[in-house]
Chain A
């Protein structure tokens, strides 16, 4: 994809934001005990791995990372001219009694998060679900808010926000497209 548009968060900025979010997660949960990360496909999964690396660096303990695909839980299947391919959900650990941090790249209407929470509930009953996003661009349509935000960006609905990743799935920068 071409990256025409304004860079609102460069590589260093993204790294700083993720490091801060990692510290905030640890502060809120008092460590990594009973903590698991679940990323929303596909951007959220890459970010979840980034966060997990930082968490284990700080605490010296590994944090499990899962992936959830929300295609089957969408509320707008009939609206898509092309039917979306279904990705794999991979949660190779129990969610029962865990504190789950759901990770996504951009928080917009909140419908993706609603779908992801439904998907998580089908896997078990977590003690809590928290939400970490790199960018919150507003325009919520559901009563959902993020616990950890990298950057708040006021946008109009006609704009598009894209988190770019390199070939190794490391986040490079965040771009605002008109």
Chain B
């Protein structure tokens, strides 16, 4: 059992065994985060570039902390300070960065599939921190780790994903990962926000209403309404959305009594979730963030070995 991928771009490209390995490594990494000295020398001398073309607080910070806890050196590049504003193409930026000999590039980009393009151009490892409406593998992995922490397994669970499925890379990674691990995924959202043919992604059921999706669910994952993307034109207004697809203490009772509630953040309080649920006892949102660091440490550790083994 070994990890043989140079890049981690999409959970679709990984096998069930790869995902199990990443999750079990993350479980071991978690111990480091609870120490007084939160650092191990594993990736000493490696250089990691965080190239973020889209805004991010949680993911970028989490990747940076993960890299630093493994003793790698990190450099952050964000759009406002990069030459992209001067019109440099992605390929040129990448080749210029490559000349500085990084070992891993962690990138977030608004264009789906840009990481596949980049991985053909550069020999270093690429980790996807979110590309357009395609995938967000580290979020998918940390969601699975958080679920496994509570239930001890992933197979046979009913997982509801509610919200803007079409524009959500989190939903795609969750669906790819969870169905591979044997969970049954139920989707619900306004018809304008559910992609046609979502059933073809695997063990997925599209529900006409939110109530059906969360009925007896073990896990409810709420998605953010992406106001910066097309979110605004696809629904009449936030209040109506909230009435039909918002999670509140009342409709949460439809799910199993010990169901867990998750959200990839940042939360629009009062739109997709009421504050009572966000801060309630079933919420695992901060646990997700905590697991994020461990999962990203596991990803960095495994791609580094995979690349060097060739």
Chain A residues engaging chain B, CB cutoff 8 angstroms: 69, 72-74, 77-78, 80-90, 118-119, 122-124
Contact = CB atoms under 8 A, between A and B. Distances in A.
Given A78-B308, A81-B309, A89-B31, A72 B39 contact: no
A118 B24 CA distance: 23
Contact of B309 (A83, A86, A87): A83
Interface of B: 1-4, 21, 24-25, 27-29, 31-32, 35-37, 39-42, 70, 298, 301-302, 304-306, 308-309
A46 to B, nearest CB: 18
Contacts of B36: 123-124
Contact of A85 (B24, B40, B42): B24
Contact of B2 (A73, A82, A89, A122): A82
Contacts of A83: 2-3, 301-302, 305-306, 309
A50 B302 CA distance: 34
A124 B35 CA distance: 10
B35 A122 contact: yes
B2 A81 contact: yes
B37 A86 contact: no
Contact of B28 (A74, A81, A89): A89
A45 to B, nearest CB: 14
A122 B35 CA distance: 8
Contacts of B309: 78, 80-83
B219 to A, nearest CB: 25
A85 B39 CA distance: 18
A73 B29 CA distance: 13
B40 A122 contact: yes
Contact of A77 (B32, B42, B298): B42
8 contacts: A72-B42, A73-B42, A78-B305, A86-B28, A86-B301, A89-B31, A90-B31, A123-B37
The 9 closest A-B pairs by CB, nearest first: A82-B2, A83-B305, A86-B28, A78-B308, A72-B40, A72-B42, A122-B37, A86-B25, A88-B28
A14 to B, nearest CB: 29
Contacts of B42: 72-74, 77
Contacts of B306: 83
A101 to B, nearest CB: 21
A90 B37 CA distance: 15
B37 to A, nearest CB: 5
B31 A85 contact: no
B174 to A, nearest CB: 24
B301 A122 contact: no
A88 B306 CA distance: 21
A124 B29 CA distance: 18
